[in-house]
Amino acid sequence: MMARALKSYLQDPFLNQLYREVRQAGPLRSISVDLTHVCNLRCVGCYYFTEGMDRYRSPRDERVFDAFIEREKARGTNFVTVVGGEPTLAMDRLQKLYRHFRLSVATNGLRRIPLKGFENLPIGISVWGSPATDRRLRGSGRVEVFARALKNYRNDPRAFFYYTVSPGNADEIEPVVTRCIENGNAVLFNYYGDLARKGGALDARQGFGRVQAEIERMIGMFPERIFTTAYLSRVVTSGRLYDEQWGYQVCTSLSVDHPVNRERLKNGKPFNPHFRAYNADFQTTRRCCTGIDRDCETCFDTWEHFSWIMLNLRKHLGSKGEFTCWLTTMYLFYWINRIVDYPAGLQRLPEIHRRVNQALEQPPFSSGQSATADQALLVETEKTITLNPEIL
Ligand code: SF4
Ligand code: SF4
């Protein structure tokens, strides 16, 4: 029945097209790597420095880095999220990774990644709020981080702003988004976790209700330039995926080789079986991309929530609307990271938002009920579809 339901959802030509593109692209075997342990900023509550991840030093010896690339190629890695530290401070190594893997890079935008040699690189530029908020939280009160990033990436089609919104700063969202879009860029939202326990406007315990409403308003205003769907944002801000509550026990982005995760990987919840989060020494791994011992209650990371949804297809088979929310999340992950055709996806973005918004108005989302699924039917479904067998 489930398999038949899936087939019937795929009768819809729009959904069918997204589904086919993702299937054709094939499974992603992903890792994250800190390209360097240094950064030219010290943002308040940066997960990297808060947990002292910079104690793992990037080696000067280029052979260590080359050996890392070769090991990962041999392991079958085909997608690398490059973080750090600030990756643009190790541009030659970034170039090497770009030559060998599909990449996504997170940067603070202070140094421009040249077009030459990085023509199709998705570049997520972090911004945390209005120019004043960004200067205060990230530029030590002096550096105009946002303004410099805007200048460096003006009309650069590779660039989108990765906008970390804090719960008490919802009124900054429209002006910041407007500036990014007027600059010729797009926006993907992220959510501040207040690792430094600054409290006040930054305190996630007050909830992201106003932020969520503003994000949905931005999707309405700029559907062709907002990469976050209302569904993805609701999952992150509520921490709910059907009957599950976000946290370590359900998190899917864990280093599978790290002993600290051994018990979690046995609990029956999905996880990415290839994933490793490498430190800047290019040898050791840590619990997850964004944490060593960090309290998972402070984690509102968008990419980790993308993965949570993507690896939970089986929860989303109860209706066409739910499947639409799953498939669009899956597709957008592939599309933002340029694993499927980019120009075609850009044309589709408004329709994706329209479909997701429509789905969210229908049960079970509107009633808050969750779909239950018969295990045998799920197995049948999994046999029927071969979409990324790694994640099913
Ligand atoms: S730019 Fe990124 S790595 Fe550097 S301090 Fe800020 S959040 Fe941390
Ligand atoms: S900090 Fe976030 S990504 Fe890391 S284990 Fe916790 S929930 Fe997962």
What domains, with CATH codes, occur in the chain? 29-312 (3.20.20.70)
Query: Minimal CA–CA distance to 242: which of 364, 330, 380, 381?
Result: 364
Task: Identify whether the C-beta of residue 160 lies closer than 8 Å to the C-beta of residue 185.
Answer: yes
Residue 196 CB–ligand 1 contact under 6 Å: no
Spatial separation of the C-alpha atoms in residues 329 and 337, rounded to whole Å? 12
Residue 296 CB–ligand 2 contact under 6 Å: yes
Q: Tens-digit pLDDT profile for the chain (392 aa)?
A: 566 678 899 999 999 999 999 999 999 999 999 999 999 999 998 999 999 999 999 999 999 999 999 999 999 999 999 998 999 999 999 999 999 999 999 999 999 999 999 999 999 999 999 999 999 999 999 999 999 999 999 999 999 999 999 999 999 999 999 999 999 999 999 999 877 788 888 888 888 999 999 999 999 999 999 999 999 999 999 999 999 999 999 999 999 999 999 999 999 999 999 999 999 999 999 999 999 999 999 999 999 999 999 999 989 999 999 999 999 999 999 999 999 999 999 999 999 999 999 999 987 775 444 444 545 444 544 443 434 444 43
From the CA of 246, give the closest atom in ligand 2.
Answer: 7
Q: Which residues pair with 33 in a beta bridge?
A: 82, 278
Is the preceding omega at residue 364 within 30 degrees of 0, hence cis?
Answer: yes
Residue 84 CB–ligand 1 contact under 6 Å: yes
Spatial separation of the C-alpha atoms in residues 86 and 108, rounded to whole Å? 7
Report the separation in Å between the CA atom of 29 and the middle of ligand 1, taken as the mean of its atom positions: 26
